[in-house]
């Protein structure tokens, strides 16, 4: 309980901007009500050991059993310390507590260890020292306890403790067992986050695989709302059992290449082409992208569907968000049949390629690439081996090497092709190649990030020049879009700013310009299908940004842990699927009731389609049995 309390204090002191809207009374209540969440997770963690110690059997009194239970209790204590420390640090990166996406770090244990060693060395050493001292003290306490005469409680007295632990674990004697969402009963996101602790959030995210409550309105009403948002007309719907599936175009396939570049952590605030239009001073770190923006359609109000790379990858490849409580990409959501960019391209006669600068197995993207229909896949090792290049100190291959190998592959790839390139250099810890220009002194994380973006921009510029000289760029739909925002300003950002990313589209015949429409990663797949004239059916909640019937209610759905955000032209609304948590309008007024309906309809239809495996039916599959 003390560990949880100290973690809450550390969270409050380390990230004060996250809680600056709370009054003194709110803070006091958050700390008081947080004890309920602390008691719940501590009781759950200690339950097996307590059960062993109070069992009314002779074997439970043996010294070996008592010693084993004591050391298992210490292991629980140590795990709670590690999770709490990681949670406080993680909160600064994404503005929320740990969730089931945190399990993805174990897919790349070497990376996890390098980050702990290099980026958080003081914290890592302090925690290890604390645990070493605690282990010594624990062993001393056990030896002292062994010298005392054992106290044998009557069976009834020992078993009387069971109801107490059950009461603490479930969070009360009445109502439903305690859940993460109960922290937001006050309607305040900030107070809810202060009440929660990382271990409680992580444990419940792992245990709750059923997903959130997602029945908010009549089914026909929800489907009609989602189809209206996606610009789906009755003639493009293929099967009512698959409410998200439709065709995008009845025109001929234009045989245009498709090239999507997923830029690691490129939020909107780092790109001068967007900054200048928003009245901000230029940084001077994206000259190549700024020049390219003059030749394409710049998406100045583009939003990421989530806060992690896997969320962005799922949205771009399938047009679906990672909903609260649902498994994420590479961890189970792919058990549902989805419409993938690579497979759709293959059905239209395209060659396909996916490359990422990080390790081949990071976040299981090697398996995702095969599932998503990419015939060729290269990761860090293959990229470095192609040129004998040196890797980054942490994480993967430099963007320059990624783009260089990609150009070699694309130059000889059978056209039309569809390729996705996922960059790496701008990931934490923000590295810049030796000898590369550094516009800013390396004296802060922000400056290091800007320098890494400058290096990535230069590499991208060289790649674009090579592609244009080779000729294949002239026949290519080029989409540049970030996977998520950088974590640097999340503590001071409001809802939409936590997801505001860079987006740009260049295509043959597409007039240069600037779009102020609200768009998102979920719109990438339908937009590509629209531009290329693909007739293959696809499924998702996004819409083509060139849809002539776009209404004023066009918007973006963004997910942050257990909170869902809807961004529209008039304003935005946050929701925890039980109640509204926050709203803000940019116009004279906003219809938040209609906005809430669109948000909940999207969650309801997407959740049911995933649960029932009714997202996408391949053309070769038999119709649903009604």
Q: Read off the pLDDT of residues 150-163 as tens digits, 9 standing for 90 and up.
A: 666 666 666 777 88
Cβ neighbours for 66, distance < 8 A, ≥ 6 positions apart: 53
Domain ranges across the chain = 2-148+155-207, 219-611
Dump pLDDT digits (tens) for 333-383. Answer: 776 788 999 999 999 999 999 999 998 878 778 888 888 899 999 999 999
Please give the C-alpha separations between residue 71 and each of 52, 64, 131, 137, in angstroms, as whole numbers.
13, 11, 13, 12
Residue with tokens 């859940």: 179
Q: Residue 623's pLDDT band (boundaries 50, 70, 90)? A: very low
pLDDT of the residue at 464: 98
Report angle CA 261, 602, 219 to the nearest 5 degrees.
145
Report the C-alpha gap between 440 and 450 in whole angstroms: 7
CB 568 within 8 A of CB 303: no
Tokens standing for residue 514: 């600037």
Phi, psi of 353 (to 5 degrees): -145, 135
Residue with tokens 């958050």: 30
Report the C-alpha gap between 289 and 272 in whole angstroms: 9
Report the C-alpha gap between 510 and 520 in whole angstroms: 19
For residue 564, list its beta bridge partners: 559, 575
Residue with tokens 């694309």: 410
27 vs 99, which has greater pLDDT? 27
For range 596-611, the mean pLDDT: 93
pLDDT of the residue at 187: 63
Residue 196 burial (CB count, 10 A): 30
| Helix, coil or strand: residue 351 | strand
Residue with tokens 């200048």: 276
* Alpha helices (H) along 208-308: 219-229, 272-277, 287-293
- Of the candidates 436, 371, 429, 437, which has an alpha carbon nearest to the alpha carbon of residue 401? 436
Cβ neighbours for 184, distance < 8 A, ≥ 6 positions apart: 192, 576, 578, 579, 581
* DSSP code of residue 326: S
- Output the DSSP codes for 461-508: HHHHHHHHHHSGGGGEEEEEEESS--STTGGG--TGGGTEEEEEEE-T
Residue 175 burial (CB count, 10 A): 9
pLDDT of the residue at 154: 67
Dump pLDDT digits (tens) for 261-289. Answer: 999 999 999 999 999 998 999 999 999 99
* Alpha helices (H) along 257-320: 272-277, 287-293, 309-318
Report long-range pairs for 386-395 (Cβ below 8 Å, ≥24 apart).
392/424, 392/425, 392/431, 393/118, 393/431, 394/111, 394/114, 394/115, 394/118, 394/429, 394/431, 395/111, 395/357, 395/358, 395/424, 395/427, 395/431
pLDDT of the residue at 142: 87
pLDDT of the residue at 624: 37
CB 391 within 8 A of CB 381: no
pLDDT of the residue at 152: 64
* DSSP code of residue 230: T
Tokens standing for residue 227: 């189809």
Residue 475 burial (CB count, 10 A): 14
Q: Residue 549's pLDDT band (boundaries 50, 70, 90)? A: low
pLDDT for 235 beyond 70? no
Q: Flag the least confident range among 247-251, 380-384, 475-479.
A: 247-251
pLDDT of the residue at 599: 96
Tokens standing for residue 408: 């070699």
Report the chain's mean pLDDT, rounded to a whole number.
87
CB 39 within 8 A of CB 115: no
Helix, strand, coil proportions of the chain in percent (round to 5)? 50, 15, 35
pLDDT for 621 beyond 50? no
For range 245-262, the mean pLDDT: 85
Q: What is the CA radius of gyration of the chain?
A: 26
Bond into 416 cis (ω within 30): yes
- Of the candidates 454, 127, 6, 94, which has an alpha carbon nearest to the alpha carbon of residue 310? 94
Tokens standing for residue 181: 């969402």
Phi, psi of 253 (to 5 degrees): -65, 120
Q: Taking the model in full, what pTM does it have?
A: 0.78
Report the C-alpha gap between 424 and 406 in whole angstroms: 14
How many residues are listed for the chain in this entry? 626
Dump pLDDT digits (tens) for 38-50. Answer: 999 999 999 888 8
- Upper half-sphere CA count for residue 346 (Cβ side, 13 Å): 15
- Of the candidates 330, 353, 331, 339, which has an alpha carbon nearest to the alpha carbon of residue 402? 353
Dihedral over alpha carbons 166, 169, 175, 181 (to 10 degrees): -170
pLDDT of the residue at 596: 95
CB 562 within 8 A of CB 326: no
Tokens standing for residue 407: 């150009």
Q: Which is it for strands 351-356 and 376-378: parallel, antiparallel or unpaired?
A: parallel
What's the CATH number for 219-611?
A: 3.40.720.10
Q: Which is it for strands 417-422 and 257-263: parallel, antiparallel or unpaired?
A: parallel
- Output the DSSP codes for 505-557: EE-TTPPPEEE-S-EEGGGHHHHHHHHHT--S-EE-S---TT-TT--TT-EEE
pLDDT of the residue at 218: 95
pLDDT of the residue at 572: 94
233 vs 100, which has greater pLDDT? 233
- Of the candidates 385, 55, 21, which has an alpha carbon nearest to the alpha carbon of residue 194? 21
| Helix, coil or strand: residue 434 | coil
Report the C-alpha gap between 566 and 619 in whole angstroms: 32
Tokens standing for residue 288: 């190549």
Report the C-alpha gap between 69 and 617 in whole angstroms: 51
């Amino acid at each position: 309980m003390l560990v949880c309390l100290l973690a809450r204090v550390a969270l409050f002191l380390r990230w004060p901007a996250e809680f600056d809207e709370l009054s003194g009374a709110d803070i006091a209540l958050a700390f008081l009500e947080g004890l309920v969440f602390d008691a719940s997770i501590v009781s759950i963690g200690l339950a097996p050991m307590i059960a062993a110690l109070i069992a009314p059997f002779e074997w439970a009194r043996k010294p070996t059993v008592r010693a084993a239970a004591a050391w298992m209790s210490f292991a629980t204590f140590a795990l709670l310390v590690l999770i709490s420390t990681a949670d406080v640090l993680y909160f600064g990166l994404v503005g929320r507590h740990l969730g089931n996406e945190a399990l993805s770090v174990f897919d790349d244990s070497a990376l996890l260890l390098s980050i702990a060693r290099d980026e958080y060395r003081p914290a890592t050493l302090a925690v290890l020292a604390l645990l070493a001292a605690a282990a010594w003290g624990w062993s001393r306490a056990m030896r002292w306890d062994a010298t005392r005469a054992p106290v044998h409680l009557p069976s009834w007295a020992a078993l009387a403790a069971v109801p107490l632990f059950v009461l603490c674990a479930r969070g009360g004697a009445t109502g439903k067992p305690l859940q993460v969402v109960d922290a937001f009963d006050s309607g305040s996101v900030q107070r809810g986050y202060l009440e929660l602790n990382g271990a409680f959030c992580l444990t419940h995210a792992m245990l709750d695989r059923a997903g959130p409550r997602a029945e908010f309105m009549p089914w026909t009403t929800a489907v009609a709302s989602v189809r209206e948002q996606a610009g789906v007309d009755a003639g493009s719907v293929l099967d009512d059992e698959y409410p998200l599936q439709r065709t995008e175009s009845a025109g001929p396939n234009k045989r245009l290449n498709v090239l999507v570049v997923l830029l690691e952590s490129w939020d909107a605030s780092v790109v001068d082409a967007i900054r200048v239009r928003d009245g901000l001073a230029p940084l001077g770190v994206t000259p190549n992208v700024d020049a390219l923006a003059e030749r394409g359609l710049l998406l100045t109000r583009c939003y990421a569907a989530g806060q992690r790379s896997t969320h962005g990858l799922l949205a771009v490849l399938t047009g679906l968000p990672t909903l609260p409580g649902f498994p994420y990409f590479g961890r189970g959501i792919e058990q549902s049949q989805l419409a993938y960019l690579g497979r759709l391209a293959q059905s239209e006669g395209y060659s396909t390629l996916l490359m990422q600068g990080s390790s081949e197995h990071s976040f299981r993207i090697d398996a995702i690439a095969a599932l998503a229909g990419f015939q060729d896949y290269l990761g860090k090792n293959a990229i470095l081996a192609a040129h004998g290049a040196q890797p980054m100190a942490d994480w993967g291959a430099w963007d320059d090497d990624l783009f260089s190998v990609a150009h070699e592959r694309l130059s000889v790839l059978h056209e039309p092709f569809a390729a996705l390139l996922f960059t790496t250099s701008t990931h934490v810890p923000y590295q810049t190649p030796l000898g590369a220009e550094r516009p800013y002194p390396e004296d802060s994380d922000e400056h290091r990030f800007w320098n890494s973006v400058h290096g990535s921009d230069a590499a991208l510029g060289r790649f674009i020049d090579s592609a244009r000289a080779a000729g294949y760029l002239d026949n290519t739909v080029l989409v540049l879009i970030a996977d998520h925002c950088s974590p640097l300003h999340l503590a001071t950002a409001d809802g939409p700013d936590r997801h505001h990313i860079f987006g740009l589209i260049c295509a043959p015949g597409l007039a240069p310009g600037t779009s102020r429409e609200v768009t998102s990663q979920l719109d990438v797949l339908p937009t590509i299908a629209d531009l290329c004239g693909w007739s293959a059916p696809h499924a998702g909640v996004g819409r083509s940004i060139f849809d002539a019937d776009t209404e004023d209610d066009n918007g973006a759905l963004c997910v942050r842990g257990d909170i869902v955000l809807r961004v529209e032209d008039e304003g935005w609304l946050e929701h925890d699927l039980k109640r509204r948590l926050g709203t803000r309008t940019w116009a004279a007024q906003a219809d938040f009731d209609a906005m809430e309906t669109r948000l909940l309809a999207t969650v309801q239809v997407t959740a049911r389609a995933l649960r029932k495996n009714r997202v996408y039916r391949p053309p070769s599959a038999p119709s649903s049995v009604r």
